[in-house]
């Protein structure tokens, strides 16, 4: 076993995938625009950039290290902006109206509005009283 077999070589798999995926998408968008008669600078730029990324991804993926890092930083920035917006929309448009509707219908699972009593104990149902219930909990 010689020394060269122990040296790790960088495969540039991530950069190759970046070049191929983004290149194919940009080529498809640019090709779609050109197909529909839009031969303006945007369509030609998208098509040529996409084809360039595909070629670089196939032949020289090490050229795509810096563009891949920039793309990932852009993705992280966009996720920092869009994630709170999407979660806020889901909460205020879906979860909150369900909670309000349940409250209006009298849903009170903790029985916080129950009348005062000597004890708040509620008996278990038959299944939970059976000792075999605890043998297979899942």
Residue 32: what pLDDT? 94
pLDDT at residue 123 in the model: 82
Residue 2 scores a pLDDT above 70: no
Question: Are the C-beta atoms of 62 and 15 separated by less than 8 Å?
Answer: yes
The pLDDT value recorded for residue 50 is 96
Q: Which are the contacts of 97, defined by CB distance < 8 A and separation ≥ 6?
A: none
Percent of the chain with pLDDT over 90: 64
- With a cut of 70, say whether residue 6 has pLDDT above it: no
For residue 1, is pLDDT > 80?
A: no
Q: How far apart are the first and last CA of the chain?
A: 52
Digit-coded pLDDT (tens) for 14-70: 999 999 999 999 999 999 999 998 888 999 999 999 999 999 999 999 999 999 999
Residue whose C-alpha is closest to residue 51's, from 22, 21, 27: 27
State the DSSP code for 63. Answer: G
What confidence score (pLDDT) does residue 4 get? 58
Read off the pLDDT of each residue in 119-123 and give the average, rounded to a whole number. 81
């Amino acid at each position: 076993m010689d020394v060269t077999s122990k040296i790790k070589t960088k495969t540039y798999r991530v950069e190759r995938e970046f070049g191929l995926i983004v290149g194919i998408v940009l080529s498809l968008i640019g090709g779609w625009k050109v197909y529909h008669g839009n031969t303006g600078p945007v369509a030609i730029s998208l098509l040529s950039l996409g084809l360039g990324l595909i070629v670089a991804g196939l032949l020289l993926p090490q050229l795509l290290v810096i563009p891949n890092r920039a793309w990932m930083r852009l993705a992280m920035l966009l996720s920092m902006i869009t994630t709170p917006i999407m979660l806020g929309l889901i909460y205020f448009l879906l979860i909150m109206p369900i909670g309000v509707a349940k409250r209006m219908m009298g849903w009170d699972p903790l029985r916080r509005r129950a009348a005062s009593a000597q004890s708040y104990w509620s008996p278990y149902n038959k299944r939970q009283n059976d000792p075999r219930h605890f043998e297979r909990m899942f």
